[in-house]
């Protein structure tokens, strides 16, 4: 590992280096990604929902997120996708994230195979409000998601991380480092970039957040992005995304395209062909240039 360590020291701050190396040491010690826990109940997918609660979101927007996820999980479309799977059940875990110092468990690993299961989760999501926290560490959210997938108590056919967020990574290790670690473990990362720009969000927003997610965040087999431009699109976007993830459908097999008009939200698959370079450190640079505007740690 020495040459990798030296390379990282030249490119990362000490705190970021420590986190990346700690993550690498944990991952190296794990069993191969496709090996499943002995005796675990079989599920079609082990799905982690990582929900952004960074300070750029208002209380109302946080509530919209909670309602959107609750409605989607209990929706007819998502339940149908679960029922049509080979095992007819999925494993689901949910947590909220902001900076790499803040993750909050909302739902521990839970089997979802019936309407009653889904409605119980929806009720849990609606029981309390989300609380916003400072900074935006997508890399920290991926690291926490990988730890959850390491501990999944089910025999999962697939492992998927579903990340929502309204800005680029601005704290913790570079997001591409953690994305590549997850993909190397056989994990797929999909993205729900929230491209709403209002209130505090405008200070750290980027106009091409969907492209940032596509180029810097998502990865793995069948990875895709569903961008949200207006908050009224959020519930449908979450339903659509969950159906694709649970059903292991490629974006071009999206059932929404068969039932909706031309105004349907786009699904953007990951691209693997060579492309022009993209700055995946744009969030870190924006934070460096603008952090003095805020006294409390900002977003």
- In-domain check, residue 15: no
Read off the pLDDT band of 59 (50, 70, 90). confident
- In-domain check, residue 9: no
- How are strands ordered across the β-sheet holding 103-112? 103-112, 90-97, 46-52, 159-165, 188-193, 224-225, 268-269
**Pairing between strand 224-225 and 268-269?**
antiparallel
Between CA 160 and CA 248 the distance in angstroms is 10
- Supply the pLDDT for residue 249: 65
Total number of domains constituting the chain: 1
Lowest mean pLDDT among 1-10, 34-43, 89-98, 155-164: 1-10
Q: Judge contact between 65 and 131, C-beta under 8 A.
A: no
Mean of the pLDDT values across residues 194-214? 79
pLDDT in tens, 261-272: 445 556 766 655
- In-domain check, residue 298: no
Between CA 50 and CA 42 the distance in angstroms is 22
Burial degree of 281 (CB within 10 A; 0-12, 13-18, 19+) = middle
Give the H or E element holding residue 122: helix 115-127
- In-domain check, residue 5: no
pLDDT above 70: percentage of residues in the chain: 71
39 dihedral zone (left: phi>0; alpha: psi -120 to 50; beta): left
| Three-state secondary-structure class, residue 194 | strand
Where do we find the tokens 């087999």? 221
CA 250, chain centre distance (Å): 18
In which domain, by residue range, is 183 found?
43-253+283-293
- In-domain check, residue 167: yes
Read off the pLDDT band of 27 (50, 70, 90). very low
Lowest mean pLDDT among 67-71, 120-124, 134-138, 182-186: 134-138
Between CA 115 and CA 231 the distance in angstroms is 26
Read off the pLDDT band of 100 (50, 70, 90). confident
Between CA 207 and CA 191 the distance in angstroms is 16
- In-domain check, residue 165: yes
- In-domain check, residue 178: yes
Q: Judge contact between 190 and 47, C-beta under 8 A.
A: no
CB under 8 Å to 178, separation ≥6 — which residues?
A: 20, 23, 138, 139, 142, 143, 146
Between CA 108 and CA 152 the distance in angstroms is 10
Mean of the pLDDT values across residues 78-87? 96
Task: Answer yes or no: is pLDDT of 178 > 70.
Answer: yes
What's 159's domain CATH number? Answer: 3.40.50.410
pTM of the shown model: 0.80
- In-domain check, residue 265: no
């Amino acid at each position: 590992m020495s040459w990798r360590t030296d390379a990282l020291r030249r490119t990362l701050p000490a705190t970021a280096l420590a986190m990346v190396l700690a993550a690498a040491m944990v991952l190296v010690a794990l069993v191969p990604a496709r090996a499943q826990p002995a005796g675990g109940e079989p599920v079609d997918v082990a799905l982690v929902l990582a929900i952004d609660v960074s300070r750029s979101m208002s209380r109302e927007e946080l509530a919209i997120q909670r309602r959107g996820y609750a409605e989607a999980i209990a929706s007819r479309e998502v339940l149908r996708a679960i029922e049509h799977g080979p095992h007819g059940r999925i494993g689901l875990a949910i947590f909220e994230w902001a900076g790499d110092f803040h993750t909050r468990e909302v739902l521990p690993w839970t089997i979802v195979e019936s309407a009653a299961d889904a409605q119980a989760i929806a009720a849990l999501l609606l029981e309390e409000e989300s609380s916003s926290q400072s900074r935006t560490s997508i890399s920290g959210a991926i690291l926490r998601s990988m730890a959850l997938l390491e501990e999944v108590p089910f025999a999962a056919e697939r492992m998927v991380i579903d990340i929502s967020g309204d800005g680029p990574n601005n704290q913790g290790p570079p997001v591409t480092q953690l994305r590549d670690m997850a993909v190397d473990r056989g994990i797929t990362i999909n993205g729900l970039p929230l491209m709403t720009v209002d209130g505090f969000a405008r200070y750290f927003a980027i106009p091409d957040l969907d492209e940032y997610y596509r180029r810097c965040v998502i990865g793995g087999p069948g990875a895709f992005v569903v961008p949200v431009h207006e908050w009224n699109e959020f519930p449908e976007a979450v339903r659509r995304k969950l159906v694709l993830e649970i059903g292991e459908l490629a974006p071009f097999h999206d059932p929404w395209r068969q039932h909706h008009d031309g105004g349907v939200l786009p699904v953007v698959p990951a691209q693997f062909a060579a492309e022009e370079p993209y700055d995946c450190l744009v969030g870190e640079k924006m934070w460096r240039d603008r952090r003095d505007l805020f006294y409390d740690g900002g977003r």
